[in-house]
Structure 1
Amino acid sequence: GDSGKMTHEDFAKLPAETGYILQLIDGMLIREPTPTYRHQRVSRRLQQILIAYFDKIDPQGEVFNAPLDVYLNDYTVVQPDLFFLPGTQPAQNDPVDSLPSLVVEILSPSTARTDRIKKLNSYQKAGVAH
């Protein structure tokens, strides 16, 4: 069964940890160091590009950036580097429980394995299109 897996309720009660981003993936707590300035520089530039793009094709939609918790299911709460919520799926709750149509993860050496394998699987299972 799912005994031993952490739920999103347990996760929500955890205290913040300075210097770390906490995420829950399939019931497992993932601790990653906070991003570097290089990571943030790339993230900011990509966010500007995405905002300009989506302003044209879905002006009601919104681009968000980490840190912001996104609830995918009872055992998965993640913080994508960037994500887009279409105008038909606006953000209404914290953590965000609307399904992003686009998720961007900027790979860095410390997070590449988690992002490429575990998080990608979680996004695919949840039905994230891109």
Structure 2
Amino acid sequence: MPPLAERLKTFLENIQFRLVGTTATKQHWNWLAIGAYIATWVVSVAIVSILDPAMSIVANVAFTIFTVFLGCIIFISKVFVRLGIELGRGNVIGGVGLVLALIGFTIEISKMVIA
């Protein structure tokens, strides 16, 4: 199994995703995801406006609340990951465990907020 894992690791390290002729970085994927989210928002609100014009404001408010909630969760998760990396210096296993625990804590907090 280790030789297969090593070959898979080498293969994945050598793959470079291309996006319009340039190497796709994490930032490209972030912009693509944000654009897709905005497009979904616009199309959904447009469909709702066509079917029931009075509901368009409700759809916009719902998307706005969801966007703020999602932004808060992402921000909290990034803060927890940075904290876990700082606290786990010198102990890689402990740092990864702490990061996973903090992400789990974030998920549990989001469940409490939703309920």
After TM superposition, the score normalised by the length of structure 2 is 0.32
Report the TM-score when normalising by structure 1.
0.29
Q: Which has the higher contact order (CA 8 A, sep 6+)?
A: 1
Instruction: Please identify the structure whose Cα radius of gyration is greater.
Output: 2
